Structure 1
Amino acid sequence: MNVETRTTHASERIIDADGAQIDVFELPTDSMSLESLLSDLFENHWREIVFGPIIQGAVFEWRAQQAPTRIGMFDGYLTVAFGVPHFHLCIGEHKGMPSHPVASALAHHRRTSRAELFRRVCKAGTPVSWGLRLFNGRGEQQITILLPNPFLNPDTDKILKAPDWSRLELWDQLRARWFGLDAPDPFDRSGKGFRHE
């Protein structure tokens, strides 16, 4: 699927619930764009990404052990399967079964209403992590996909002594594809290391 939807490249700096500064880059939320984005990440970058919900009191950081065996849409839900393990995300129009239709308010609650690329900024004012977040119609997080981090070893997640800026390649590709920003942003390469703050 080739979707050429582009959005504005202007970011907005927000303060997250934990007090962290987050630069957010709004993405389209139509089902074709989201299916294209998520399919690309899981089909072509499954070895590089870490995914799961990150909510107050719970952080899931899963890595796929194999390429997806199936990615498909049904009744508004994108399913990504890795053999038996799988997950579903409501990214499109959700109606339910003809014999058991879903109320429109519940369908609206379930469906992605906000999608954003983000970079988390430390207290020193430089980026320390990059990713994608989806939120449903009530603003509840559906999933976070953490992109390769130049400050972390890709195999162990241990902090590297020196940043590996090549690990921002996927971030740069997403910025180019969705915002038309072909040149890397020097701000992304301004940090000195990873820290939880």
Structure 2
Amino acid sequence: MPHPIAVEHKTAEDGRVLAEFWPLPTDQAFLETLFRDLFENHWHQLTFGPMVEGGAYELRCPGAPQSITVSGGYFTVHWGSGGHFHLCIGENRGSPENPTPPELIAHRRPGRVWLERGLDRAGHPVTWSLRAVNGRGESTIAIFFPNPFLTPDDGIAETPDFGRLALWQLVLERYAGTLPDGRDRLGKGFGK
């Protein structure tokens, strides 16, 4: 287990805590290990996509990836006819004939990556995710972990299934060095 990462807080103007987050390293080796683990071993549990102003993409893997590669600073997950995506996790310098300008390298590189626990108005957890933004703070990917208040088919659960937090707890411990604190079971669900 890595050295524990201290939790930080995102607050509203009124001082209410909106989310708790654990900043993660942004170096390519760490991110490749993290994303490879998630998409090779836990693909069937992930909901993912970018979160941008005006759009939230919550997609599911169509199956186990056919391949996962890293080249030129990009992490690529490929599903064959199910599509693929590229995520910049390092530096893409271009080719000797066509080098990437330094400002574009800085824009594409991960600016911040963190684990986030979203809270309801009472301060209880209701969402669990991993977020990444590029050097300009634009969302590159959000990965939502299984939620106890949702069914596997993305409906609202009648009764919370806190066993669905196993992947969150594994990732929090493995990559942030933080053991479960018991707070994850305090939530009542969406709008409750």
TM interval, short-chain normalised = over 0.9
8 Å CA contact retained: 1:114, 1:135: yes
Q: 1:146 aligns with which of 144, 147, 150?
A: 144
Aligned length: 189
The match for 1:59 among 41, 47, 56 is 56
Secondary structure of the structure 2 residue equivalent to 1:100: coil
| CA apart distance, 1:16 | 7.4
Aligned to 2:20: 23
Query: Contact 2:45–2:146 (CA<8 Å) still a contact in 1?
Result: yes
| 1:186 alignment counterpart | 182
Residue 96 (1) aligns with residue 98 (2): no
Question: Which residue number corresponds to residue 66 of structure 2?
Answer: 69
Task: Give me the TM-score of the superposition, normalised by structure 1.
Answer: 0.90
TM-score, length of structure 2 as denominator length: 0.92
**What letter is aligned with 2:171?**
L
CA-CA distance at 1:125 after TM superposition: 1.1
Conservation of the 8 A alpha-carbon contact between 2:9 and 2:17: no
| Kept after mapping to 2: 8 A contact 1:150/1:168 | yes
Structure 1 residues 126 and 175: alpha-carbon distance in aligned structure 2, compared to 1, 3 A threshold: same
Please identify runs of 4+ aligned residues in structure 1 that moved more than 3 A: none
Identity %, equivalent residues? 46
Q: What is the root-mean-square deviation in Å for CA atoms of aligned residues? A: 1.9
CA distance in 1, matches of 2:56, 2:170: 26
Q: Which runs of 5+ in 1 are unaligned?
A: none
1:148-183 CA-to-partner distances (Å, cap 9, x unmatched) read: 0011001x211111111110001110111123334x
SS of 1:148 mapped into structure 2 = coil
Higher relative contact order (CA 8 A, sep 6+): 2
What residue number does 1:121 align with?
119
Q: Which of 3, 12, 31 matches 1:34? A: 31
- Report the AA paired with residue 100 of structure 1: N
Is the Cα contact below 8 Å between 1:20 and 1:120 reproduced in 2? no
Q: 1:173 aligns with which of 159, 170, 179?
A: 170
Counterpart contact for 1:7–1:178, Cα < 8 Å: no
3-state SS in 1 of match to 2:59: coil
- Does residue 157 in structure 1 map to residue 154 in structure 2? yes
